[in-house]
Structure 1
């Protein structure tokens, strides 16, 4: 009994350093992490086995396993059905999985799980998110109720961004200052995408005008991957140059001038005849 206990202790002492050292530095990289719908993505899983033999590498989308690499089995690769996942077997191995023509269903968490072989069977797993997107195909559109404004007018405007996924968030800026901060972007579904809309109704005061005009800008953003804007500049009608008043004469004044000129001419003729 004593000898058996000593043997178990010896096994633990011998294998403890290996248990501590093996299977480290497991890192998952997704290139690209933000993928355009229908394009490809490569999932790379690097690890250091510390001379321990590899038992298998498993890949998960969420909790669902879709790819496994087991070097001691033939074939060494297995694929498990998952909607929207198309694995390129020729380009996939124990270090990476290549996905072709990714769909929206792949947005979410991917996990790489590495397990060493006997006697330790150490396991480590790392996860990372992928986002499948469709970006707007053009800049946002900005429409205002009028083309010029005056103090006291109400500025009414509407901004829309083309369909995308995720939906764009819209922001209004007047003379480079954010207005209507609490206004929420409305999102409308169209098939698998959403188009965005934001409306503005703002009473105008002298402080809103920059010199003789106002500039309204609408910015469309999708996280850190997309930003576009459109702007319109509108004059302040009260700041236009005044039209000079036309100088006119009354008919009575005109008659007086004409009569005065005739009298002068008669006096001149009389003076010439006398002399």
Structure 2
């Protein structure tokens, strides 16, 4: 199939005797170039706290038309408001003269909304499809997906500071004076002891 074959198709039945004609429903035909590999997910951190945001990017394979990206967390579709689309752009590859395009988007998902416990894992899936949404009762013309796992870790609280005894300057000087007195007494006793021998 050439790309010029894309368009609207219908068929018509016509009779001369008796005079009769009937046109079928019109169907759209699109010639596509399939994705050759699954989308690529990049995770900012493979280990995150349950109170942090999960940040990731997804890039589709080149295709025609540009694939649509859909994010899933633990097999549940992510709210579009948590996704930042970066648009599509052409790559240097062509297929029979048709430029191929890829799609890129970012995910910023608050893990606190999942009520996770430490040492659990979260599955992130990027679904890359043509077309963006299939019609009722129809599948996708092309579909690829990629899933990665992120570990939710327990963030240890910072160590508590041990109590510190604060010494005032007056107390410090009195201690110094007491230490000097003890030292003088010890020296005197040692002198007396040597004289007695």
TM-score bracket for the superposition, by shorter chain length? 0.5 to 0.7
Q: Partner residue of 2:184? A: none
TM-score, with structure 2 as normaliser: 0.58
Unaligned runs of 5+ in 2: 92-97, 157-197
Q: Partner residue of 2:178? A: none
- Greater mean alpha carbon deviation, residues 197-206 or residues 229-238: 197-206
Q: Partner residue of 1:231? A: 147
SS of the counterpart of 1:167?
coil
SS of the counterpart of 1:149?
strand
Unaligned runs of 5+ in 1: 1-101, 241-275
Cα shift at 1:137: 0.5
Q: Partner residue of 1:131? A: 30
The aligned runs of 1:142-161 (5 Å cut-off) are 142-161=41-60
Are residue 188 (structure 1) and residue 89 (structure 2) matched? yes
Cα shift at 1:109: 0.8
Aligned residue pairs, count: 138
Aligned with 1:219 (options 113, 116, 127): 127
Task: Please identify the structure whose Cα radius of gyration is greater.
Answer: 1
Contact 2:50–2:118 (CA<8 Å) still a contact in 1? no
Query: Once the two structures are superposed, what CA deviation does each residue of 1:184-242 show, in whole Å capped at 9, x if it has no partner?
Result: 652223453321111112233273536522221111222322332211112223179xx
The aligned runs of 1:74-89 (5 Å cut-off) are none
Query: Once the two structures are superposed, what CA deviation does each residue of 1:62-119 show, in whole Å capped at 9, x if it has no partner?
Result: xxxxxxxxxxxxxxxxxxxxxxxxxxxxxxxxxxxxxxxx2122211123344444x6
Q: Partner residue of 1:103? A: 2
